[in-house]
Structure 1
Amino acid sequence: MNTTFSAEDRKRWMSLLATADETRLTELWQGFGADPACDWLRAPETGGVMVRGRMGGSGAPFNLGEMTVTRCTVSLEDGTVGHGYVQGRSKAKAGIAARIDALMQTGAAAEVRAGVLAPLAAEQQARKDTRAAKAAATKVEFFTMVRGED
């Protein structure tokens, strides 16, 4: 078992898997070619979670509403446990995410990162850059003129 990753590293890859497009994640996973044998510790199940927000990012928390999520847990043959927790109702996506999470904790982490996570991260960054460029194109600069009144 390889534990040379930080909690922040794991948060990043779990977030990437949770928000990835299901079709693209499936394509990358199938192209990766490794589907390790695993046991379901928790079969994929769909439920709801309460989403909380804060006014201005720093105000008192409040309940924003509910969101549908699907979660599961797998155990690889070597005992490594992986979790999948994804937005929506896709049991297949949650299963792929759980297997990737488990593999990222093993010696196969570099291969999984290069074959699956790096392309997803690059595509996500490209979408963010495109959105930022569109927003920047609508930027208006305001200036104040002195009116001459004292």
Structure 2
Amino acid sequence: MPQTSCFNLVFSASPGNVRTALNDLCVFLENNTISENHVGTAQIVAGEVLNNVVEHATRHQADGRIEITCEITFESLIFTVCDNGTPMPRGGIPNKGLPPVDTTLDNLPEGGFGWALVHLLTSGITYHRRQDKNCLKFTLPAIGKSSLSE
């Protein structure tokens, strides 16, 4: 049976707290001998998700709360991010596609690239809303302990 280690943190939704949470997550992963490349990928994906919660879901809430969990299994990092913010637009995860970029540099869209990146780097991404909470779950695959250090 594979061993697992779990990281769990609950914090107030703010940009500064997201930075602290990401730092704590990276320290946890490094302490569990996750390779530098996998730590970097986890930081990118978790950062995108957590920043979206702050910028969109809890934007107008003084009591915005985020909970992030990361479970290390032999095969993967399994993340769950829950918050008490507003539901995802249209009740689901934004699509995988990139925004249109067939324009001039000055007219490139400001956003829309983050979800494409999340879809690209993760697998098994799911979203549900239950009891006024958003919960997003995703996996960063193929990090078995035998190949953790590069």
TM-score category of the 2 structures, normalised to the smaller one:
under 0.3
Larger Rg over CA atoms: 1
Q: Per chain length, whose mean CA-contact separation is higher, i.e. which structure has more relative contact order (CA < 8 Å, sep 6+)?
A: 2
More helix by percentage: 1
TM-score in terms of structure 1 length: 0.25
